[in-house]
C-alpha cells in the first residue's frame, strides 16, 4: 500500500513543479531569443545607420573642401588680373600648381560666357565651350559658387586627358540579381565638382571650377572604411565595406570579389536600385554583397538638380552580429538551463521534504493500528511539522490511555481472581461453621430458657448473642461468596436509592452529613434483587459516613448510558479517602481499618458479591484527604434475561 501512495503524491508534486519549471523555461527561452534577436539586430541597424551618416558626412566634407579652395582662388587679385590681361601662361601655371596641391583631377577657368581660358590638364586646348556644364551654367546664371556631385562624360574627360578617360573606363561585370543593362563598359565618370564666379571690380569676368573623378579612385572609400571600421576583420573578411556607385555600378569600392580584387564594375541588386535610385530613399537591410551577407545601408548621391546619379554604400559583415547574437544566446540558454536544473533539484528536494513526513505519518499510523506507538521526528516548523507534532501528541495520549486501561484491567482481573478464590475458601469454612453454630445456638437457647439462676442465665445470653453475631458473619461470607439466594424482579434503582436514603438520613451517623441526590430521569427498569441492592448502597453510605465523622457531603448519582446500555451509579463522599496501598484490599473479606468490634471488613466484600450477581462491576477512585467515589455499572438487559447467572 505504501508504494502506490508514495508514487502518487510525490509524482504529482514533482510533475506539477517540473511543469512549472519546464513551461517557464521554454517561455523564457523564446522570450530571450526574441529579445536578443531584436536587440542585437536593432543595435546592428543603428550601427549601419550611424555609419552611413558618417560616411555621407565625410563624402560631403570632401566636396566642401574643394569648394572652399575654389572660392579662395576666385578671390585672388592676380588671377583676376591675369584673366583681364589674358595672361594664359600664368593662369595655367597657377592652375597646375593648385590642382596638384588639392589632389584633384580637373582645374579650369572659363570666361564669363563659359569658354575655357585656361586648363590645368591639356593646357594647349582652350576656347571650348563649357557653358553646358551644369555647375558652370549655374555660376554664370546665378553669379554664385556651387558644389556637389556630377556625371562627367567621356568626351569631357578626353578633352582633359587620356589618362582621366582611362581612369573612368570600367568594364561592366554581370552580377546576379542585378538590373539588366545592355552596356558592357562604362566610360563616363562620377565626380565631385565645385565652381565659383570670378569678379573684377564688381564685374563678372569668369568661372573657376575643379573636378575630382571618383571612378577607380579608392582614396575616399578606404578613408571612410578606416575611420569607421579600423581594418577590423572576422574570419579573414573585413568587417566593414564602403562603395560608391555610379548608377548601379560599383566605381569605387573596397568590397572584394572572390579573387580578392576590388569588385569594381559589379552592380547593385535590382531591389536596392529600385528603392534608392528610382525613389531616392535610404535602404537599410540585409544584402548579399558579392559573396557574403552584409547589413547594408544605401544612400542616394544626387547632382545639382537633385537627381539621383549614384549611391553611397556602407555594409557591416552580418557575421559580426551573428557572433554577438550567438554568444548572447549561448549565455542565456546556459543561464536558463542551469536555473532550470537548480529549480528541478529544488523541486525534487521540496517534494521530498513534503512527502517524507507524510510517508512517516502513514507508516506511523499503520504501526498505530497494529498497536505499536511509534513517534515521528518533527523536522520543520511549518504546517507539516505542526501536523507531526500533533500526531506525536495523539500517540502520547493514546499510549497513556492504553497503559491506564491495561493497568486497570489487570488490577481488576487480579482482584476478581483473588476474590473468587477467597470466596471459595470462605464459603467452605462458612458452611462447615454454619451447622455447629446452629447446634450451639439451639442448645444455648434451650439452656437459656430452662436456666433459672439469673447469673448463669446472663452468661448463656452472651453465648447466644455471640453465636448470633457469628451467624451474621457467616451470612455475610455466604453473601460475598454468592451463596445466598437471589430474587431478581424488575425494579427502578432511583426508587430503591430514594427509599434507602430516606431511612438512613435519620440515622445518628448522618447527622453532620449533607446528602445530595442527582438521579437521572430516564433510568430504565432492570432486573434486581431490591433487598440486596439496598444493602449495597447501605454499605457504601455507611462507609462514607464512617469516613466523614467530622461531617461532609455524600452524593449519589444515577445516569443512563443509552449507547452502552448501562446504568451508572456513583456514590461519592468528601471523607478521609483511602490509602493507595489499601485500594486493592478493600474488597477483601475481613479487610478493615476500623477498630475491632467496630467493623468486620465484610461490607465491601458483600457489596462486591451482590454487584457481581447482578452482572455489574464496581470500582473505586479515591484520594487521601479529598474523598472517595465508588462507581457501579449495571447492564440493562432485555426482559427475560433477569435470571441469576452463577459464575
Ligand atoms: N467511603 C470510604 N472512605 C474511606 N475508607 C473506606 C470507605 N469505604 C471503605 N473504606 C475502607 O475500606 C475498609 C473496608 O470496608 P468494609 O465496608 O469492607 O469494612 P468495614 O466498613 O471496615 O467493616 P463493615 O463494613 O464490615 O462493618 C474500611 O475499613 C475502610 O478502611
Ligand atoms: Mg463497611
Q: Which atom of ligand 1 is nearest to the CA of 605?
A: 18
Average pLDDT over the chain, rounded to whole? Answer: 90
CA nearest ligand 1 atom 20, residue = 601
Q: Which atom of ligand 1 is nearest to the CA of 577?
A: 4
pTM (two decimals) = 0.58
pLDDT at 2 over 60: no
Provide the greatest CA pair distance for the chain.
Answer: 207
Ligand nearest to the CA of 630: 1
Ligand 1 touching residue 477 (CB < 6 A): no
Q: Greater confidence, 572 or 16?
A: 572
Residue 71's pLDDT band (boundaries 50, 70, 90)?
Answer: very high
In the structure grid, which three cell numbers stand for residue 109, read together? 577657368
CA nearest ligand 1 atom 3, residue = 547
Report the CATH architecture of 485-647: 2-Layer Sandwich (3.30)
Ligand 1 touching residue 607 (CB < 6 A): no
Position 639 scores a pLDDT of 56
Position 647 scores a pLDDT of 37
| Window from 49-53, 285-289, 292-296 with minimum mean pLDDT | 285-289
| Window from 5-9, 106-110, 441-445 with minimum mean pLDDT | 5-9
* β-strand pairing of 203-213 with 106-111: antiparallel
CA nearest ligand 1 atom 19, residue = 601
Spell out the domain ranges in the chain.
2-41+329-366, 42-328, 375-484, 485-647
Q: What's the average model confidence in pLDDT over 67-80?
A: 95
Question: pLDDT (tens digit, 9 = 90+) per residue, 348-376?
Answer: 888 888 888 888 888 888 888 888 888 88
Half-sphere exposure of 586 (CA within 13 A, CB side): 22
Ligand 1 touching residue 265 (CB < 6 A): no
Ligand 1 touching residue 491 (CB < 6 A): no
Position 1 scores a pLDDT of 43
| Separation in Å, CA 377 to CA 189, 399, 416 | 94, 17, 42
* Residue corresponding to grid cell 550611424: 50
In the structure grid, which three cell numbers stand for residue 227, read together? 575611420
Q: Which CATH superfamily is domain 42-328 in?
A: PAS domain (3.30.450.20)
For a mutational test of ligand 1's pocket, the pick from 472, 510, 592, 626, i.e. the residue with the most ligand atoms closer than 8 A to its C-beta, is: 592
Contact 277, 260 (CB under 8 A): no
177 CA to middle of ligand 2, Å? 128
518 CA to middle of ligand 2, Å? 23
| CATH 1.10.287, domain 375-484, yes or no | yes
Ligand 1 touching residue 588 (CB < 6 A): no
Position 307 scores a pLDDT of 94
Residue 6's pLDDT band (boundaries 50, 70, 90)?
Answer: low
In the structure grid, which three cell numbers stand for residue 478, read together? 455466604
Question: pLDDT (tens digit, 9 = 90+) per residue, 111-133?
Answer: 999 999 999 999 999 999 999 99
Question: pLDDT (tens digit, 9 = 90+) per residue, 407-462?
Answer: 888 887 887 788 788 878 888 888 888 888 999 999 999 999 998 888 889 999 99
Ligand 1 touching residue 540 (CB < 6 A): no
The β-bridge partners of 569 are 558, 632
The string of DSSP letters for 369-425 reads HTT---------SSHHHHHHHHHHHHHHHHHHHHHHHHHHHHHHHHHHHHHHHHHHH
φ, ψ of residue 252 to 5 degrees: the values are -150, 125
Ligand 1 touching residue 555 (CB < 6 A): no
CA gap 175, 188 in Å, rounded:
20
Ligand 1 touching residue 628 (CB < 6 A): yes
Share of the chain above pLDDT 70, in %: 97
Question: pLDDT (tens digit, 9 = 90+) per residue, 261-277?
Answer: 999 999 998 988 999 98
Question: pLDDT (tens digit, 9 = 90+) per residue, 160-187?
Answer: 999 999 999 999 998 888 888 889 999 9
Q: What's the average model confidence in pLDDT over 95-102?
A: 94
Q: What's the average model confidence in pLDDT over 393-408?
A: 90
Contact 317, 238 (CB under 8 A): yes
Ligand 1 touching residue 479 (CB < 6 A): no
For a mutational test of ligand 1's pocket, the pick from 599, 608, 623, 627, i.e. the residue with the most ligand atoms closer than 8 A to its C-beta, is: 599
Ligand 1 touching residue 287 (CB < 6 A): no
Q: Which atom of ligand 1 is nearest to the CA of 548?
A: 3
Share of the chain above pLDDT 90, in %: 63
Ligand nearest to the CA of 572: 1
From 134, 179, 172, 169, select the one nearest 276 (Cα to Cα): 179
507 CA to middle of ligand 2, Å? 16
| Window from 4-13, 34-43, 86-95, 311-320 with minimum mean pLDDT | 4-13
CA gap 604, 619 in Å, rounded:
11
Ligand 1 touching residue 572 (CB < 6 A): no
The β-bridge partners of 635 are 566
Position 27 scores a pLDDT of 93
CA gap 202, 158 in Å, rounded:
35
Ligand 1 touching residue 592 (CB < 6 A): yes
419 CA to middle of ligand 1, Å? 16
CA gap 560, 567 in Å, rounded:
5
Q: What's the average model confidence in pLDDT over 457-476?
A: 89
Other Cβ atoms less than 10 A from the Cβ of 524: the count is: 12
Ligand 1 touching residue 594 (CB < 6 A): yes
Q: Which atom of ligand 1 is nearest to the CA of 591?
A: 14
Q: Classify burial at 202, counting beta carbons within 10 Å of its beta carbon; exposed 0-12, middle 13-18, buried 19 or more.
A: exposed
In the structure grid, which three cell numbers stand for residue 412, read together? 481488576
Contact 388, 359 (CB under 8 A): no
CA gap 519, 629 in Å, rounded:
16
Residue 643's pLDDT band (boundaries 50, 70, 90)?
Answer: very low
Ligand 1 touching residue 593 (CB < 6 A): yes
603 CA to middle of ligand 1, Å? 7
Q: What's the average model confidence in pLDDT over 557-567?
A: 95
pLDDT at 70 over 90: yes
CA gap 545, 539 in Å, rounded:
10
Residue 5's pLDDT band (boundaries 50, 70, 90)?
Answer: low
Position 124 scores a pLDDT of 93
| Separation in Å, CA 256 to CA 47, 224, 241, 260, 297 | 22, 16, 9, 5, 17
Ligand 1 touching residue 575 (CB < 6 A): yes
| First vs last C-alpha separation in the chain | 46
Contact 201, 94 (CB under 8 A): no
CA gap 503, 496 in Å, rounded:
11
| Separation in Å, CA 448 to CA 9, 467, 470, 537 | 95, 13, 18, 37
Position 353 scores a pLDDT of 82
Ligand 1 touching residue 603 (CB < 6 A): yes
Question: pLDDT (tens digit, 9 = 90+) per residue, 490-538?
Answer: 999 999 999 999 999 888 889 999 999 999 999 999 999 999 999 999 9
Alpha helices in 179-240 (DSSP H): 219-229
pLDDT at 17 over 50: yes
CB crowding 629-640: b at 16 or more within 10 Å, else e: bbebbbebeeee
Residue 646's pLDDT band (boundaries 50, 70, 90)?
Answer: very low
CA gap 610, 621 in Å, rounded:
20
Amino acid at each position: 500500500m505504501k508504494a502506490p501512495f508514495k508514487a502518487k503524491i510525490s509524482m504529482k508534486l514533482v510533475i506539477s513543479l517540473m511543469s512549472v519549471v519546464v513551461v517557464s523555461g521554454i517561455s523564457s527561452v523564446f522570450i530571450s531569443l526574441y529579445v536578443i534577436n531584436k536587440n542585437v539586430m536593432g543595435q546592428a541597424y543603428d550601427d549601419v545607420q550611424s555609419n552611413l551618416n558618417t560616411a555621407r558626412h565625410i563624402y560631403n566634407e570632401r566636396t566642401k573642401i574643394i569648394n572652399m579652395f575654389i572660392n579662395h582662388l576666385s578671390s585672388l587679385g592676380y588671377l583676376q588680373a591675369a584673366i583681364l590681361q589674358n595672361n594664359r601662361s600664368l593662369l595655367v601655371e597657377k592652375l597646375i600648381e593648385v590642382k596638384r596641391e588639392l589632389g584633384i583631377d580637373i582645374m579650369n577657368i572659363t570666361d564669363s560666357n563659359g569658354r575655357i581660358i585656361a586648363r590645368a590638364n591639356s593646357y594647349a586646348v582652350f576656347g571650348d565651350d563649357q557653358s553646358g556644364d551644369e555647375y558652370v551654367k549655374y555660376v554664370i546664371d546665378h553669379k554664385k559658387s556651387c558644389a556637389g556631385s556630377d556625371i562627367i562624360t567621356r568626351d569631357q574627360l578626353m578633352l582633359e586627358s587620356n589618362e582621366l578617360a582611362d581612369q573612368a573606363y570600367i568594364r561592366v561585370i554581370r552580377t546576379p540579381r542585378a538590373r539588366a543593362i545592355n552596356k558592357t563598359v562604362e566610360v563616363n565618370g562620377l565626380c565631385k565638382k565645385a565652381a565659383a564666379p570670378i569678379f573684377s571690380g564688381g564685374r563678372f569676368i569668369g568661372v573657376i571650377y575643379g573636378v575630382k573623378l571618383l571612378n577607380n579612385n579608392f582614396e575616399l572609400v578606404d578613408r571612410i572604411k578606416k575611420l569607421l571600421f579600423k581594418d577590423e576583420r572576422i574570419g579573414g573578411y573585413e568587417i566593414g565595406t564602403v562603395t560608391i556607385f555610379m548608377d548601379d555600378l560599383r566605381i569605387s569600392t573596397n568590397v572584394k570579389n572572390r579573387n580578392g580584387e576590388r569588385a569594381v564594375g559589379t552592380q547593385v541588386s535590382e531591389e536596392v536600385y529600385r528603392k534608392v535610385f528610382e525613389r531616392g530613399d535610404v535602404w537599410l537591410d540585409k544584402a548579399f554583397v558579392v559573396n557574403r551577407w552584409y547589413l547594408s545601408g544605401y544612400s542616394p548621391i544626387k547632382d545639382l538638380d537633385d537627381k539621383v546619379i549614384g549611391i553611397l554604400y556602407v555594409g557591416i559583415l552580418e557575421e559580426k552580429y551573428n557572433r554577438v547574437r550567438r554568444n548572447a544566446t549561448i549565455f542565456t540558454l546556459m543561464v536558463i538551463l542551469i536555473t532550470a536544473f537548480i529549480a528541478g533539484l529544488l523541486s525534487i528536494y521540496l517534494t521530498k521534504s513534503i512527502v517524507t513526513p507524510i510517508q512517516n505519518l502513514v507508516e506511523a499510523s499503520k504501526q498505530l493500528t497494529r498497536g505499536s506507538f511509534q513517534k515521528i521526528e518533527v523536522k520543520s516548523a511549518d504546517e507539516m511539522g505542526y501536523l507531526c507534532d500533533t500526531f506525536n501528541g495523539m500517540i502520547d495520549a493514546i499510549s497513556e490511555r492504553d497503559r491506564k486501561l491495561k493497568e486497570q484491567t489487570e488490577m481488576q482481573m487480579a482482584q476478581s481472581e483473588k476474590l473468587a478464590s477467597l470466596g471459595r475458601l470462605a464459603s467452605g469454612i462458612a458452611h462447615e461453621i454454619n451447622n455447629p453454630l446452629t447446634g450451639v445456638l439451639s442448645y444455648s437457647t434451650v439452656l437459656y430458657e430452662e436456666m433459672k439462676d439469673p447469673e448463669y442465665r446472663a452468661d448463656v445470653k452472651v453465648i447466644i448473642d455471640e453465636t448470633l453475631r457469628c451467624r451474621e458473619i457467616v451470612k455475610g461470607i455466604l453473601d460475598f461468596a454468592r451463596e445466598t439466594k437471589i430474587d431478581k424482579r424488575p425494579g427502578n434503582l432511583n426508587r430503591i436509592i430514594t427509599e434507602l436514603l430516606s431511612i438512613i438520613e435519620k440515622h445518628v451517623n448522618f447527622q453532620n452529613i449533607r446528602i445530595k441526590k442527582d438521579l437521572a430521569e430516564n433510568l430504565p427498569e432492570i432486573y434486581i434483587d431490591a433487598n440486596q441492592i439496598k444493602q449495597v448502597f447501605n454499605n457504601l453510605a455507611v462507609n462514607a459516613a464512617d469516613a466523614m465523622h467530622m461531617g461532609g457531603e455524600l452524593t449519589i448519582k444515577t445516569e443512563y448510558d443509552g449507547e452502552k446500555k448501562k446504568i451508572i451509579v456513583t456514590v461519592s463522599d468528601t471523607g478521609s479517602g483511602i490509602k493507595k496501598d489499601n485500594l486493592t484490599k478493600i474488597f477483601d473479606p475481613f479487610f478493615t481499618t476500623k477498630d475491632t468490634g467496630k467493623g468486620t471488613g465484610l461490607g465491601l466484600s458483600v457489596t462486591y458479591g451482590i454487584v457481581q450477581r447482578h452482572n455489574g462491576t464496581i470500582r473505586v477512585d479515591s484520594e487521601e484527604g479529598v474523598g472517595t467515589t465508588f462507581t457501579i455499572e449495571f447492564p440493562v438487559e432485555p426482559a427475560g434475561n433477569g435470571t441469576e447467572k452463577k459464575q
